Amino acid sequence: MPPSAPLPLAAPDAERFAACAMAAVKTRHPHKLDHLILDAGDLPAPSQIHPVFDGSYDWHSSVHMHWSLLRLMRRSPGLPQDEAILAHFDERLRPELVAVERAYAADPRRASFERPYGWAWLLALQAELEAPGWPARWAQALRPFSKDIAARLAAFLARSHYPVRAGTHANSAFAMLLARRVGDPALDAAIEAAAQRWFLHDRDYPAAYEPGGADFLSGGLTEAVLMSELLGDRFTDWWQGFAPRGEAMQAWLQPAVVSDRIDPQLVHLDGLNLSRAWCLAALADALGDEALRAAAGAHRAAAWPHVTVGDFAATHWLVSFALLSLGD
């Protein structure tokens, strides 16, 4: 079945999301720096090594909140923040600043920096920049870095014997889903080959083991969505072997409970509800299953009121997952 049209985004929600994302990318502290210290003098401020993606608590969140700003402008033209967003991108997406980010990530001793989650979001951002409507200079500025990352991710997938099925940043299937958006042929081939090796013969997924207490992704659902994209007409047969049996399926249909929205790990579960909504809706399209669509709506509703309120532990990243939950 063809994918459903993206769900609508009400103007008040678009405006509050844009205000939240803009505030996040401008907020420099608190900041969780992912930096391998190479010697006693290697103690930079985040802005020195990440002049493009400084802000938003950590590097990968800055990348995907930049993606969010573009997505919001594309989905909701005429936002009050439009002028400020355009000025911000002009300030940050400059070749000389991207070159600093690129050089930092190119050091072989930092080969695993932000792999694969941050890499995948960078590629998704590049894909958004390549869409019609944005100044060509932005995509041109980031493209050398994103091409490096696409090549590294393709090589990493080719030499990796095993996937990561965790519900957090290292998850393989989620990174592969996002990275496919950039349309790099070599990377797409590496993704398809890895998915065939890792996931084609999976059966009776143990959904009852989900969620983990710090998950913001479902290992099983992200895998299933990836396979739906890659298998096409063969997906229904694969799903019949993969889908959880009996009551285990209920673990995917009920929204996760979030007990603490200040704790930066426990609040991940709001993100899980949003990413599950995205996956469940995609699977509903692929399978024609309205029970999955209803579950997607329940998950989205559980998290939606909390996307832009509360502690920075949540507001620095949840907008991106709320937008994913609406579909492309």
**Which of the four pLDDT bands, split at 50, 70 and 90, describes residue 109?**
very high
Question: Could you give the angle at which helices 185-199 and 172-179 cross, rounded to 10 degrees?
Answer: 150
DSSP alpha helix (H) spans, the chain: 11-26, 46-49, 59-75, 82-92, 95-106, 117-130, 136-159, 172-179, 185-199, 219-231, 235-242, 250-253, 268-287, 290-303, 312-315, 318-325
Is 2 a residue whose pLDDT tops 80? no
The token pair at 149 is 């990352």
Q: Residue 218: what are its φ and ψ, rounded to 5°? A: -100, 115
| 178, 123 Cβ separation under 8 angstroms | yes
Q: How confident is the model at residue 1 (pLDDT cuts 50, 70, 90)?
A: low
Query: Contact at 8 Å (CB) between 273 and 302?
Result: yes
Cis peptide before 30 (omega within 30 of 0): yes
CB 284 within 8 A of CB 292: yes
pLDDT tens sequence across 12-56? 999 999 999 999 999 999 999 999 999 999 999 999 999 999 999
Residue extents of the structural domains in the chain? 200-328
Q: What tens digit of pLDDT does each residue of 286-306 get?
A: 999 999 999 999 999 999 999
